[in-house]
């Protein structure tokens, strides 16, 4: 089944302008559930697509020069759009993912040390412990039964981030509360954010707003007390025994202002890291497993790679760089299903965007989803082909048009962390199990804050 092409939502728009206008309310409703479902097929060929929203327009550039300008060269002229604060602010406040300007610069300076390469090496052991716990759970169902690997990937990635932030595993009852609340939050906050972006009346998303606020409180109630207790202990001068991410954030002092994070800031950053740190990785890992289950030839080669590099022994840190195909499978899953499908920015002043003009205040959204499937940049853009990342002719597309972690000053702070944990988890699964699709199952893609499947990812697992 090599060269497998997974399905994705496609929108066929009528040629007539009038019919397209009449479709707008229907599209607006649809986009509240899945942003990807509103991408017309023609957008994959264009340098820029435009969506006229009431009162402003949204541009979706897919031109490499524009992407570089917006994300890298002129990034200060394209701050994060208010859409980000409207969807995430209730849960993450003004944390690094949401903030702009001087507030963001200070946060970035203070958070970078927690993710430097040496730190990522230190957390290797914690990631391995979480992978052991994962195989403990999966062994119980790996007798040819079907299971939802999306649930398991959410658990193991949240467990990793819990261990690396707080130096302790995530308990099943905590996971249950947080995951339920976050699922509901994503749905409600996304609907509310789209409503605001379309400048529709507030009452139309009042219920969604209330649900988002309620679920945000539930999630924060599970995390904030742990942060508060560590913050109090540090500022009371008690001896600090942990060497984890929270410790780095509690103790760090900004070089420029000489200040620590206060408790509110600390709680917001930890909530942000917990969510950005597991939701994205869980999405990419679930799609990786789905693609492997659908392409048995590639799966056989991943098995051969882990057998050659590891045999039956546990993975060591220096093995990570030898698992080329395993890493390429993950990279290709993030190309086809970028966990963060849109990076919404706002034009601070009027400027040209490809052959259009962005007025001040208009949305300029760079879309990894669109760019990763650009017909002019990639060969067979919709096919699952992990080997493309080892072919010299793909290097240019990879350099210019591969942005699962974004690029420029706001590039993902956890990219090395995510690549390391993904290689560990995929290698561990390949060493131990064979994956097959559940007969008749097709994932139903939903693009909200991240790209997930509404009906999970149901696979059949057997011990090798």
> Could you tell me how far CA 171 lies from the centroid of its own chain?
23
- Binding-site member from 193, 381, 404, 443 for ligand HEM (CB under 6 A): 404
- The strand pair at 433-437 and 356-358 is best described as unpaired
Of 108, 116, 113, nearest in space to 76 by CA: 108
To the nearest whole angstrom, how small is the minimum distance from the Cβ of residue 415 to ligand HEM? 7
State the Cα–Cα distance between residues 317 and 391, nearest whole angstrom.
26
Minimum CB distance to ligand HEM smaller for 49 or for 406:
406
The dihedral through the CA atoms of 161, 164, 165, 166 has a sign that is positive
State the Cα–Cα distance between residues 464 and 461, nearest whole angstrom.
9
Minimum CB distance to ligand HEM smaller for 251 or for 442:
251
To the nearest whole angstrom, how small is the minimum distance from the Cβ of residue 366 to ligand HEM? 8
Minimum CB distance to ligand HEM smaller for 309 or for 418:
418
* 8-state DSSP, 171: P
38 counts as binding ligand HEM under rule CB under 6 A: no
To the nearest whole angstrom, how small is the minimum distance from the Cβ of residue 379 to ligand HEM? 23
Interaction mask 97-116, ligand HEM, x per CB under 6 A: x----------x--------
For residue 396, the number of C-alpha atoms closer than 13 Å in the C-beta half-sphere is 6
Minimum CB distance to ligand HEM smaller for 142 or for 289:
289
DSSP string spanning 112-131?
A: GGGGSHHHHHHTHHHHHHHH
To the nearest whole angstrom, how small is the minimum distance from the Cβ of residue 319 to ligand HEM? 20
Minimum CB distance to ligand HEM smaller for 364 or for 418:
418
Minimum CB distance to ligand HEM smaller for 273 or for 347:
273
406 counts as binding ligand HEM under rule CB under 6 A: yes
Tokens of 182: 């976050």
Residue for token pair 């993950």: 330
State the Cα–Cα distance between residues 177 and 217, nearest whole angstrom.
12
To the nearest whole angstrom, how small is the minimum distance from the Cβ of residue 19 to ligand HEM? 33
Reduced 3-state DSSP string for 268-322 = HHHHHHHHHHHHHHHHHHHHHHHHHHHCHHHHHHHHHHHHHHHCCCCCCHHHHHH
Tokens of 171: 């308990």
339 counts as binding ligand HEM under rule CB under 6 A: yes
DSSP string spanning 172-201?
A: HHHHHHHHHHHHHHHHHHHHHHHHHHTT--
To the nearest whole angstrom, how small is the minimum distance from the Cβ of residue 421 to ligand HEM? 7
Q: Which of residues 41-100 bind ligand HEM (CB under 6 A)?
A: 96-97
Taking contact as CB under 6 A, which single stretch among the options 5-13, 178-186, 211-219, 406-414 is the one that binds ligand HEM?
406-414
447 counts as binding ligand HEM under rule CB under 6 A: no
Minimum CB distance to ligand HEM smaller for 71 or for 142:
71
281 counts as binding ligand HEM under rule CB under 6 A: yes
- Binding-site member from 189, 246, 310, 412 for ligand HEM (CB under 6 A): 412
- The strand pair at 363-366 and 343-346 is best described as antiparallel
What number of residues does the chain have? Answer: 464
Minimum CB distance to ligand HEM smaller for 142 or for 160:
160
Q: Which of residues 151-170 bind ligand HEM (CB under 6 A)?
A: 161
456 counts as binding ligand HEM under rule CB under 6 A: no
To the nearest whole angstrom, how small is the minimum distance from the Cβ of residue 84 to ligand HEM? 7
Asked if 184 contacts 211 with a C-beta cutoff of 8 angstroms, the reply is yes
Tokens of 264: 């509110």
- Taking CB positions, which residue lies at the least distance from ligand HEM? 414
Number of Cβ within 10 Å of residue 105's Cβ equals: 14
Number of residues that bind ligand HEM (CB under 6 A): 23
249 counts as binding ligand HEM under rule CB under 6 A: no
To the nearest whole angstrom, how small is the minimum distance from the Cβ of residue 22 to ligand HEM? 32
Interaction mask 354-383, ligand HEM, x per CB under 6 A: ------------------------------
Q: Phi/psi at 214 (nearest 5 deg)?
A: -65, -45
To the nearest whole angstrom, how small is the minimum distance from the Cβ of residue 414 to ligand HEM? 2
- Binding-site member from 87, 280, 286, 293 for ligand HEM (CB under 6 A): 280
The dihedral through the CA atoms of 241, 242, 243, 245 has a sign that is negative
276 counts as binding ligand HEM under rule CB under 6 A: yes
Tokens of 343: 């990076």
Tokens of 156: 């193991």
Interaction mask 418-437, ligand HEM, x per CB under 6 A: x-------------------
Please report, in angstroms and rounded to a whole number, the separation of the first and last CA atoms in the chain: 20
In the complex, the residues that contact ligand HEM under the rule CB under 6 A are: 96-97, 108, 161, 273, 276-277, 280-281, 284, 334, 339-340, 343, 404-406, 410, 412-414, 417-418
């Amino acid at each position: 089944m090599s060269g497998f092409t997974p399905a994705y939502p496609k929108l066929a728009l009528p040629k007539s302008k009038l019919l397209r206008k009449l479709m707008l309310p229907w599209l607006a409703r649809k986009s509240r559930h899945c942003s990807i479902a509103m991408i017309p097929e023609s957008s994959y060929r264009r340098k820029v697509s435009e969506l006229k929203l009431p009162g402003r327009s949204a541009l979706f550039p897919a031109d490499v020069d524009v992407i570089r300008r917006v994300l890298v060269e002129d990034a200060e002229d394209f701050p994060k759009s208010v859409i980000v604060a409207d969807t995430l602010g209730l849960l993450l406040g003004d944390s690094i993912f949401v903030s702009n300007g001087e507030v963001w610069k200070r946060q970035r300076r203070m958070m970078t040390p927690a993710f430097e390469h040496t730190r990522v090496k230190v957390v290797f052991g914690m990631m391995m412990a979480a992978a052991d716990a994962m195989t403990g759970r999966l062994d119980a169902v790996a007798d040819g039964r079907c299971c939802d690997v999306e649930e398991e990937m959410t658990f193991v990635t949240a467990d990793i981030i819990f261990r690396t932030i707080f130096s302790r595993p995530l308990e099943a009852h905590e996971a249950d509360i947080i995951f339920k609340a976050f699922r509901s939050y994503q749905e409600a906050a996304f609907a509310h954010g789209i409503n605001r972006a379309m400048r529709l009346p507030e009452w139309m998303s009042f219920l969604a707003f209330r649900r988002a606020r309620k679920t945000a409180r539930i999630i924060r109630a599970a995390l904030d007390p742990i942060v508060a207790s560590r913050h109090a202990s540090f500022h009371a001068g008690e001896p600090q025994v942990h060497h984890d991410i929270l410790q780095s954030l509690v103790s760090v002092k900004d070089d420029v202002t000489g200040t620590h994070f206060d408790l509110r800031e600390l709680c917001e950053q930890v909530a942000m890291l917990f969510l950005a740190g597991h939701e994205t990785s869980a999405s990419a890992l679930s799609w990786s497993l789905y693609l492997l289950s659908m392409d048995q030839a590639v799966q056989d080669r991943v098995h051969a790679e882990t057998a050659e590099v590891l045999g039956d022994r546990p993975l060591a840190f220096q093995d990570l760089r030898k698992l080329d195909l395993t890493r390429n499978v993950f990279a290709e899953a993030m190309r086809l299903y970028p966990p963060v499908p849109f990076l919404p920015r706002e034009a601070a002043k009027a400027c040209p965007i490809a052959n259009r003009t962005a007025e001040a205040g208009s949305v300029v959204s760079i879309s990894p989803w669109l760019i990763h499937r650009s017909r002019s940049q990639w060969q067979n853009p919709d096919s699952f082909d992990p080997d493309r990342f080892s072919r010299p002719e793909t290097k240019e597309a990879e350099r210019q048009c591969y942005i699962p972690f974004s690029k420029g000053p706001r590039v993902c702070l956890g990219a090395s962390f995510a690549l390391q944990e993904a290689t560990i988890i995929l290698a561990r699964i390949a060493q131990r199990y064979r994956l097959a699709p559940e007969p008749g199952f097709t994932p139903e893609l939903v693009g909200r804050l991240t790209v997930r499947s509404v009906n999970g990812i149901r696979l059949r697992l057997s011990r090798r």
